[in-house]
Structure 1
Amino acid sequence: MVIFNNVSYSVAGQPLLARLSWSVPAGKRIALIGANGAGKTTLLRLITGELTPQEGQIIIPKNLRIGYLPQELINFQNSSVLGYVLDGRPDIVSLEKKIKNLHLQLANQKQEDSSLLNLLGEWEEKFRALGGYLVEAQAKTFLSGLGFSLPDFRRALNRFSGGWIMRAHLARLLLQEPGLLLLDEPTNHLDLTALEWLEQYLLSFPGAIVLVSHDRFLIDRLAEDIYELEKGSLTKYPGKYRIYLQEKRKKIEQQRKKYEEQQAEKERIIRFVQKYRADKKRARQVQSRLKHLEKMRPIEPPPPLPRFDFRFQIHHPSYKDVVTMKQLYFAYETDQWLFEEIDWQLIRGEKIALIGPNGSGKTTLTRLITGELKPTKGTIRLGARTKIGHYTQHQLEILHPESTIYDEILSSTPEDRVPFIREVLGVFQFRGDDIFKKIKILSGGEKARVALAKILLSPANFLILDEPTTHLDLMAREALEEALSNYEGTVLVISHDRYFLDKIVDKVIAIQDKKLIPYHGNYSYYLAKKARPSSPSGAEAPENHPQFVPLSPDEPSSLTAQSLLRPAQPSSRRKSKEQKRREAEARQAISQMRRTLQVKIKELEQKIANLENRKKAIELKLATPQTYQAGGPQITALQKEYAQLSRELDQSYQQWEKLNQELEKLLANLPLRRKK
């Protein structure tokens, strides 16, 4: 459908695309990933025609309708929200105006004009075929899914913030029904509810999609293939982020090994030359080795994988009760409560996700905890020795403009962590002399990364993080997750990065109906519980929380998640030794099931990676003219093998999905042990 033929494009002498040949097949869903500044947005703008290749050509069918969602919308037509979305179908809007005018013309005529009536019939039939009678309902469906309320539809678009304008633009693109949808960080401006709606819609979208995103959860769900843009070229990976990460790390390790082997060989040659340079008997051997050294094609050192090699050590832990709220009420305006009757305790060591739709009060709750806001009624108390590290977008204003990045971090870093400053800054993409740049010349995203690094290195024992992954690339997110997993303090995080939440948190607090509703698990667990609530409010009722139940004598051979995790019947708090023993056995059985599933998934991922590599090798052979010179039998054999590999891959991916669903179901029903 879209074909890149030896396309090159550079900015300020830096090649972003170098003789790139690539294609986007019809109906294919592709994730495009790469480091910040690698050229992903440039590639999308080349497809839309906003940029022109400096070399090569891009072939796009004339009748292909392309929808492009940029990261920021500079110019937009000011009208009502609904009007702006409907104007995305100018063919329907203009035809509707023609039909209305023709109706007026016919109404003003004394005698019927058969030619005008025939024209009206043609236009109305065309309007129906274009979907004109359904277009407004479709537009409202898209707007509702993306978070707009019914009163919002008639409000002027310029009354909304930039994030909401981007949502309206996304609805406009979806209404256009493009054959190719280009999405550049579409989740940046969406809350979790809107994000989940968009994900479901895109899964059934019939056209091709090129998705640029740091949302690994969305990539896992949506992408059929992952392409990584690096040093001007694209590398293809299977469409599962975990498999991509595994293959990427393997590739880097292979490159490191080759680099180290070459460096060792160079050192051996140099030592030999230096030792025998003056020896006339070995002159020929010396010259031979020097020529070999000259002809040696240099292997570049592999890029460093961002990671934290130190653990966060809390020198002064807080007391057990980090935050205590009692009968807390809060309202910005009288009688319009944002929170009512909140009784909640945050316990030392918990890692909690705070979720809820936009406007539900997530940021307000964090400001109540930090003391920026005071409760309207009730009390909120921080535990003794609690030291907060608060990361939020408006915190960027407290950075000192004249300080260098290094000095800004140093100013709040405990002495024992000073040796790690460069390492942490490297993870957040500040390397070499970059760390001596002044704060005042940094972009908003760079300042955000400095603020996050500063908080992570601070002596805080309670981290409050508001969208910490927004300005991080994929590898930096992985490193942050690793660091927070090892963090011994308490974490309260607001994020729409579902992959991040799944890896970090052990509890979800949902803001619902002005209350805080706890879910004792990660984000996937929360989704599973929300899909089948155990109490009218959707919260986990303590007495109905799934417990491990001893198996009855008639089911010894059916060790399934369902049989092991039936809700227990209400009983007294005290348990007999026999009950505890049986529960421990059930717990052990489920742990064994989990480990078995994880091993099977890992083995299957390796098999998929091997099949993809072989498939890629055959694709390269079939694209080589020499293959066709060898004659028909070889081509036929390759085509048969390719078809067989495709079938095996489809079966393997189906099996992978099934195993992951079994694992998710198991984990969704698995209660976490309460911390003592």
Structure 2
Amino acid sequence: MLTIHDLTYTIGDRVLLNAVNLAIRPGKRIGLVGRNGAGKTTLLRLITGKLEADSGAIRYPSDYRIGFLPQEELAFTDTPILELALQGQPEILRMEKEIHELHQRPDLQDNPALLKRLGVLEELYRGNGGYDLEFRARKILSGLGFSDDQFHHSIQNFSGGWRMRVYLARLLLLEPDLLILDEPTNHLDMDSLLWLEQFLTRYNGSLLIVSHDRYFLERVVNEIAEITKGQLTHYSGGYDFYLKKRAENLEMLKKAYARQQETIAHTQKFIDRFRYKASKAAQVQSRIKQLEKMERIELPEEENTLRFTISVDTPSFKHVLTLEHLWFAYAQPQWVLRDLNLSVTRGERIALVGANGAGKTTFTRLLSGELQAQKGTLTIGERVSIGYYAQHQTQALDLNKTVLQEVEQSAAASFRPRLRDILGLFQFSGDDVNKNIRVLSGGEKARVSLAKMLLSPANFLIMDEPTNHLDVPSREALEHALDAYNGTLLLISHDRYFLDKLVDRVWLLENGVLTEYTGRYSSFLEKRARESQQSDIPTKPAGGKPARGTGNRKSKEQKRLEAQARQSISKERKRLTRAIEEVEKQLETLEEERADVENQLADPATYQNAELSATLHKRYKKLEQHIHAQEHRWETMQMELEKLLEQLKENT
């Protein structure tokens, strides 16, 4: 268990973290949230010892292992990626080396001490999973998107995003007591992201995760810690629970603040009225002391709730885009896109998805006119105006202009009176708008390019990873604007919440070929999951529909018996599902109660009352026992449910 007690960290005159407290218990999965610059990464660096706090303490056992995946790229030597991943278990590698050296000793059989040492090592090696270490490393690397033929390639052959995946694989193989991940989804494609989610939900250690991916947090974590104005607030529940509870708490706080302000105003009015009357002097002084002693309620920093809309003055004709037998390659015959045929009509909202390197950005550059196809035709419809956003477009910014000047020159007239406020949504507040483009970071330049494109609206927007450098409030503002947009949309994004809210059609790009799915992004993911589970079906036509089977027909009696079996299994599945939901509700209640006891135990004043302290410790122990019992019950029922689903699948 790792505990943080009264941790304070300042940068200059700014108190970034003010006496924060947090307990990371075994098996807990905590999402660390807060606005950009709130102090999330700073807290992670304090925990890992990369920064030193001004005061407070971080305590954990001497044998407690912490693994940390930072946002920035790490330095690696010229080493094959499988070997780098295996380095996540140095102790097992050391044992393996010593075992090998002992086997090479010519005097091994005649030396009892060496034989004894070999026996001890082999037992330790087996007990620590040494014999399946490489298998596990390969499985993790495959899950993160590497193919078997890449395992022996040097890491120097891969881009920064793929190198981060190798380091992540190394950490997952290490299986530390506390795994700390800072924006782990930034460099993952759809399939590797889903794999990582599943891996982390089964992870035996504790997790502390910073992520802007709201779907990822909701699926992986079971607690939320929010940093606001230097304070850390803990919520016992997932991300959706946190949003709901936080809104409720804020509403209650606003009401309490309003009541306190009324009390202050009433008291101050009395003081001002009778300050100079001798007969009221004692009462005046009493009220002055009352105000001085009053603990003032402070409202949290309000998020920027400004919204803006993108309106299309000149709509396109019905047919926006048509591709016929389109082929593209950077170097033939390695075709990136193969014989594409599709059409887009006005008002459609499309997500373009696929693995990293599948050709998504190449495809959008073709549509925008930056690249030309070698074969086929690309027809842009009448009155179609294209707005294109991609990371590489930051190169087109004028380095000698300020943020405000650069955006203002292309902004539509309707936006100019509110330009400073709108730039605040893109995280340029106050004097930030007067910063020179030359001094901005890569992420800041990307936000300038995004703002420029949105504020000079076209009727067909093509956007490649628009949310990459936005915090949650900025993403919500962008979602609101695009949701109300009355033009045509084509989006590439790893943010599943963002896509699910905005698109009604999905194009999957695999091996140079596009497959179309109709419906929301979440529906597409469900269809993909079903398709992957039906790998025993040999052939599937486009759209994921299975080919008709050609096996022998079943008898009526066999069909009747199978239908009865399915009905029985379905009934039991419903019973188990209801029971699991009930256990989850009980666990939520127990964990909330435990969090309340923890907060009391974290208060130094508790220990001034020995009886209260003892009672709380006993209560905490009982709650732990209840929670473990319910968690065991939940796991047992989940296993039963999985078996039932397998039976149902076999009888379908």
| TM-score, normalization by structure 1 | 0.79
Q: Does 1:357 align with 2:361?
A: no
Whole-angstrom CA distance in 2 between matches of 1:483 and 1:650: 42
* Contact 2:607 2:613 (C-alpha < 8 Å) held by counterparts: no
Check whether the contact 1:390–1:455 (CA below 8 A) recurs between aligned residues. Answer: yes
Q: 1:384 aligns to what SS in structure 2? A: coil
* Structure-2 separation of matches of 1:168 and 1:460: 40
Larger deviation, residues 308-317 vs 396-405 = 308-317
Opposite residue 330 of structure 2, the aligned amino acid is Y
Aligned CA-pair RMSD = 3.7
Structure 1 segment 2-401 matched on structure 2, within 5 A? 2-106=2-106, 112-259=110-257, 297-401=295-399
Which residue matches 2:607? Answer: 625
Find the partner of 1:539 among 518, 540, 543: 543
373-382 or 10-19, which deviates more: 10-19
Q: Structure 1 residue 536: deviation in Å?
A: 0.4
Question: What is the match of residue 664 of structure 1?
Answer: none
Q: Taking structure 1 as reference, are residues 329 and 116 closer, same or farther at Cα in structure 2, changes over 3 Å only?
A: same
The 5 Å alignment of 1:376-525 reads 376-525=374-523
Structure 2 gaps of 5+ residues are 549-565, 568-580, 639-652
DSSP 3-state at the match of 2:335: strand
Query: 1:337-392 deviations in whole A, cap 9, x for unaligned?
Result: 22222111112212111001112110011001000111111111222222222221
1:270 CA displacement? 7.2
Q: How many residues align?
A: 595
CA offsets 1:20-68 (integer angstroms, 9 cap, x no match) = 2221101111111111122222222222222233212211111112211
Distance 2:334 2:287 in 1: 82
- State whether residues 530 and 538 of structure 1, in contact with CA within 8 Å, keep that contact through their aligned partners in structure 2: no
Shift of 1:614: 6.2
| CA distance in structure 2 between the partners assigned to 1:112 and 1:310 by the alignment | 83
Contact 1:243 1:605 in 2 (8 A): no
| Aligned counterparts of 1:115 and 1:506: Cα–Cα separation in 2 | 70
- Identity, in percent, stands at 45
> What amino acid maps onto 1:451 in structure 2?
S
Residue 412 (structure 1) shift: 1.1
Query: What is the CA-CA distance between 1:443 and the residue it aligns to?
Result: 1.5
User: 1:273 deviation in Å?
Assistant: 7.7
**For 1:322 and 1:282, how far apart are their aligned partners in 2?**
80
- 2:577 maps to none
Cα–Cα, structure 1 residues 284 and 350, in superposed 2: closer, same or farther, change >3 Å?
farther
Q: Distance in 2 between matches of 1:489 and 1:219?
A: 31
Alignment CA distance shift 1:111-1:336 (3 Å): closer
- 8 A Cα contact 1:326 1:343, kept in partner: yes
The 2-side partners of 1:97 and 1:323 are apart by: 61
Does the aligned pair in 1 maintain the 2:308–2:422 contact within 8 Å? Answer: no
Segment of structure 1 superposing worse, 339-348 or 295-304 = 295-304
Map Cα deviations across residues 271-301 of structure 1 (whole Å, 9 max, x no partner): 8888898999999988777766666655445
Deviation at 1:611, TM superposition (A): 8.4
Aligned pair in 2 of structure 1 residues 195, 369: CA closer, same or farther (>3 Å)? same
Structure 1 residue 393: deviation in Å?
0.9
451-460 vs 222-231, greater mean Cα deviation: 451-460
TM superposition shift of 1:89: 1.7
State the shift of 1:511 in Å: 0.9
Q: Secondary structure at the match of 1:9?
A: strand
Asked if 1 retains the 8 angstrom alpha-carbon contact of 2:310 and 2:457, the reply is no
Q: How has the CA–CA distance of structure 1 residues 606 and 385 changed in structure 2, closer, same or farther, with 3 Å as cutoff?
A: farther
- When normalised by structure 2's length, the TM-score is 0.82
Q: Which amino acid aligns with 2:394?
A: L
CA distance in 2, matches of 1:631, 1:366: 63
Q: Contact 1:34 / 1:40 at 8 angstroms: preserved in 2?
A: yes
Name the CA distance, whole Å, in 2 between partners of 1:182 and 1:642. 27
CA distance in 2 between partners of 1:335 and 1:215 (Å): 38
Is the alpha carbon distance of 1:620 and 1:165 closer, same or farther for their aligned partners in structure 2, counting shifts above 3 Å?
closer
